Amino acid sequence: MSSAIPQHDDTAHLLEQVRSAMQCGRALRIRGADSKAFLGRRVDAEELDTRSHSGVVHYDPTELVVTVRAGTRVSDLNALLAAEGQNLPPEAPDFDGRATVGGMVASALAGPRRPWAGSVRDFVLGTRVITGQGRHLRFGGEVMKNVAGYDFSRLLAGSHGCLGLITEVSLKVLPLPRRACSLALDVDAATAMDMLTRWRRDDLPVSGAFHWKQRLHVRLEGGEATVDAARARLGGDEIDPAIWTDLRERKLAFFDTSLPLWRLSVPWQTRLEPLPGDTLLDWAGAQRWLASDAPAQSIRRVAAALGGHATCYTPGIDDTPFQPLPEVLVRFHRRLKAQVDPHGIFNHGRMYAGL
């Protein structure tokens, strides 16, 4: 089942590189395919490339769990799962087939299905990690009930490599939906939000929803009868389902802009407010993409007023691309970093200066 995926255990070399960096006081920049180099602050350090450490460690489709090495390409993992009628529900972007599983977990980026299916973090069962003390440790397990050390595996999701070098990941997978249908309806943003709220209350099988330029795009997934009934109720025009891949990979026309790109994350059912630029509503409005040359402080002020936060996806626009943290959280992050990476080896400053 895994023959198409390159199989190579490069643990020894990765451990050697980390231990050498410890001894010499060198910093390391963890990288896979560098498909997410645009996200976060620049790290000037020796590169530690994980792509040679790839392959499937264990996969039995009946268990709904797959364990793979960090350098495995997300596209290869998706192909393996699809061949068995399964998938990884968060729909992490694969960035033209380049993205790696380690980078998928470290960034925790997810696609259109995330609000309905869960985040990347929700599907991480366990990890193996090389720590800043040069140790190769296992956290969590391959079954949901095995929760020993599970919290650290979840902390790694979205840590952007600042806490350790992920070498293996065990992921929960699910069967592919039996039926899918994509629709478009011509409505304004306020009407779209009202409709989505009503459909969620009525438990319709929505698994994707974004609005741009007076058009609401909706994906339905589930059993055949359930999807067909929802499709008859919603009306609209059937559209090419490839639009969800284009959204996930940020290839829609909206993203083809010379303006700085921002991602605003706000609570579900947050009110609509004018934003200083072109806006695309994703995740049924919980994720709001903004193309704008407005000052970073102004954009973050708007996001905070909506109860959320803003992240800059265009390099070089803001020295703090991630939402600045309150001082109490800065202290927590520093303590955590000091415990798991006491020498400050891994991706120093990638998320925040000094961390």
pLDDT in tens, the chain (355 residues): 445 798 999 999 999 999 999 999 999 999 999 999 999 999 999 999 999 999 999 999 999 999 999 999 999 999 999 999 999 999 999 999 999 999 999 999 999 999 999 999 999 999 999 999 999 999 986 544 443 444 799 899 999 999 999 999 999 999 999 999 999 999 999 999 999 999 999 999 999 999 999 999 999 999 999 999 999 999 999 999 999 999 999 999 999 999 999 999 999 889 999 999 999 999 999 999 999 999 999 999 999 999 999 999 999 999 999 999 999 999 999 999 999 999 999 999 999 998 8
> What CA–CA distance (Å, rounded) separates 55 from 53?
7
First-to-last CA distance in the chain? Answer: 41
Residues of the chain with CATH 3.30.70: 177-256, 257-324
- Residue 57 contacts residue 89 (beta carbons within 8 Å): no
CATH number of the structural domain 257-324: 3.30.70
Q: Is the domain defined by 11-175 classed in CATH 3.30.465.10?
A: yes
Instruction: Please state, in angstroms and rounded to a whole number, the distance separating the CA atoms of residues 354 and 348.
Output: 7
What pLDDT is stored for residue 149 in this prediction? 40
Q: Rounded to an integer, what distance in angstroms lies between the CA atom of residue 203 and that of residue 70?
A: 36
Model pLDDT, residue 4: 78
Residues listed for the chain: 355
> Could you give the residue range(s) of every CATH 3.30.465.10 domain in the chain?
11-175
- 65 CB burial (10 A radius; 0-12, 13-18, 19+): buried
| Eight-state DSSP code of residue 177 | P
CB–CB of 43/61 below 8 Å? no
Residue 81 near residue 217, CB atoms below 8 Å: no
CATH 2.60.120 at 177-256, yes or no:
no
Q: What is the pTM of this model?
A: 0.94
Q: Which of 178, 170, 242, 182 is nearest to 207 (CA)?
A: 182
For residue 1, what pLDDT is reported? 47
Q: What is the pLDDT of residue 151?
A: 75
pLDDT at 319: 93
Q: How far is the C-alpha of 311 from the C-alpha of 322, rounded, in Å?
A: 5
Find, among 282, 355, 345, 291, the residue nearest to 324 by Cα.
Answer: 355
Buried b (16+ CB within 10 A) or exposed e, 189-208: beebbebbeebbeeebbbbb
pLDDT of the residue at 259: 98
